[in-house]
A and B are shown apart, each in its own frame.
Chain A
Amino acid sequence: MDVFMLQLFNGVSVSSILLLIALGLAITFGLMNVINMAHGELIMIGAYAAYVTQNLFRNYAPASVFDSYFIAAIPVSFLVAFLFGLLLETVLIRFMYGRPLDSLLATWGVGLVLQQLARSIFGAPNVGVTSPKWLDGGMTVASGVVLPYKRLFIIGLVIVCLLAMYVYIYRSNAGRRMRAVMQNREMAACLGISTRRVDAVTFAIGSGIAGIAGCALTLLGPIGPSIGTYYIVDAFMVVVLGGVGKLVGTVFGALGIGLTNTLFEFWTTASLGKVLVFLCIVAFLQWRPKGFVAMRTRSLD
């Protein structure tokens, strides 16, 4: 029973991490149809932004407030990745709309450049990010079942991001304009929407969320120039499985992959578990090529 509870929690926790890294991609790939191979590097930028924030706090702030650095790191990571996304969109991505293969190659190149840049600035070895004290340890639910605070925090963070995105896309004027542009660009332009600006802001928001994901990942694993490459495939899997173009599909995709992955890993081994997940995804996409939630639109293709 303990093990079952723990595994269920692990499944939800892995799902939440998958969801966080895929949320930004759900916007840039799902909504804008840009195959952004540099998404992983935007995650990396967020992670390094958290690392820099930590160092600034350590060097310049009084020791008593050091533990609150992580709260500051989240908006900093978002902002840095947001600005990077904005820059990327204006100098590169805007030439690539509607040309998914070109965007794949170009952004892949950008990803390599960014990795090399990180290696030059921060060095090739991993850097240590000290987690704040208040996230150490875990909540003991029953004897032997400890839920790490870091994972609970990440689940909370994902829920906040998801809500914020929902409100932005479906309840705000900016979101309404964004959906209009995604659904029918020409018509939206005719109605006086500056599609250029909407494109740029949308892409930058997707990038910013990748930055938040990177900030959260500093709690769990290594921070190095190649951190993005560990997660980029998973992120695409989530979006494709969930159904391109739908936020709710991304949530289902992340939950599906996260839960089945932990289940398989528990029954078999880590390597075999991953293979089985891949096979399940392939089988599922044979059955429903458009993923869990298909977009209903007349203007698609």
Chain B
Amino acid sequence: MSQALEAKVEPEVVLEWIKKIGSDSSSTVPLLQAVQSQYGYLPRAAMDLIVQNTDITGRQVYGVATFYSQFRLKPVGRHIIKICHGTACHVSGADRLNTSLRHMLNIADEEQDTAENGSYTIEQVACIGCCSQAPVMVISDEVSGNLTGAAAQRALKKHAKKSEEIVANL
């Protein structure tokens, strides 16, 4: 599965970002953010291009990429589901959203976070600042709140229909 999701990196795209964002060391985070917004994760080839074409060292690129929780080193599904695990969401049942959506997407292995067909990736995130609507999740860029496990499933079902994705346990 992950093989199929591996992104093809075009050097000219990365070089264009370097030109736009900068090649000094303070550009490390914004450059990686640009790469991730394009590919959904940080492909090794893109990180190598940054090291080769800027003043940023490999130590710095990899150090930063592994330090911040936003950066992913593995390919992701076509859509990302972020389940908020802030305090309010935790005490209001964020765990149940996680259980119910993993069940629906048939992601049984705890080490896995992407559905077998590459449709959705489930991610746990720290507070997204919507605490009074807890528990909250974000599918693609759509925020929804006051969820139960069942309501989260309905939201996923709706999203899957709209984006023509197949969900295992619908």
Partners in one complex: no
